[in-house]
Amino acid sequence: MAETSLPDLHVCLFDTALGWIGIAWSETGITHLQLPERDKTATRGRLLQRVGAAVEIPPGGVAADAIPAIRALARGEKVDLGSIPLDLRGVDEFRARIYAAARCIGFGETTTYGALAATAGYPGKARETGAAMGSNPVPLIIPCHRVLAAHGRLGGFSAPGGTRTKRQLLAVERARPPSPPGQSAFNF
């Protein structure tokens, strides 16, 4: 069953250093981003399963602007995806605030679920923040891979490949963990 069904939704796939990524967009913004599956066909299938009815076309509008930046990020280039317009219709206020706070985490930076919850105005809601990150419709643009569990633990990752993919994305960015007192680093 599809997560959403938006009118005039378009999709396309594009190749990156990480593999084939799928993107869906409306007139107002990106609605979904599908991280690479085992191959292009699987990525397309997962994206269409998530978005429902959509027309596959060459990238246009907001997607045409987003794709070069996403490709650069996949190559490990320091880019800011924070200005890419999103269309997150149907997202509740809690997730909207969590996602907005997550978009402020810079390239190569990390935070914890608890710290992100507090930044968004929900102190003590680390578990709920983790659930919000797990349902993130636009990974990379909302950089859920940059959000870690307490004490520098990696935490989960719901994208294809799970924590292996999260480690890979953090390595591409040469990410640095948040440094609580007495902790200087950890291994991914």
Look up the pTM and report it: 0.88
Domain shared by 156 and 106, yes or no? yes
Residue 187 lies in a domain: no
CATH code where residue 24 lies: 3.30.160
Domain shared by 115 and 57, yes or no? no
Instruction: Identify the domain containing residue 29 by its residue range.
Output: 10-74
Residue 182 lies in a domain: no
CATH code where residue 152 lies: 1.10.10.10
Residue 163 lies in a domain: yes
Domain shared by 128 and 62, yes or no? no
Residue 183 lies in a domain: no
**Portion of the chain with pLDDT greater than 70, in percent:** 90
Domain shared by 103 and 58, yes or no? no
Domain shared by 30 and 69, yes or no? yes
pLDDT band at 2 (very low <50, low <70, confident <90, very high): very low
Residue 80 lies in a domain: no
Q: Which residues are catalytic?
A: 144
**Portion of the chain with pLDDT greater than 90, in percent:** 76
Number of independent structural domains in the chain: 2
141, 66 in Cβ contact below 8 A? yes
Domain shared by 63 and 116, yes or no? no
Look at residue 179 in the predicted model and tell me its pLDDT: 56
47, 33 in Cβ contact below 8 A? no
Residue 86 lies in a domain: no
Residue 48 lies in a domain: yes
pLDDT band at 78 (very low <50, low <70, confident <90, very high): very high
Q: What is the per-residue pLDDT across 42-70, written as a single tens digit (0 to 9) for each? A: 999 999 999 988 889 999 889 999 999 99
Q: What is the per-residue pLDDT across 125-138, written as a single tens digit (0 to 9) for each? A: 999 999 999 999 99
Domain shared by 102 and 69, yes or no? no
Residue 124 lies in a domain: yes
* Partners of residue 23 on adjacent β-strands: 12, 33
pLDDT band at 163 (very low <50, low <70, confident <90, very high): confident
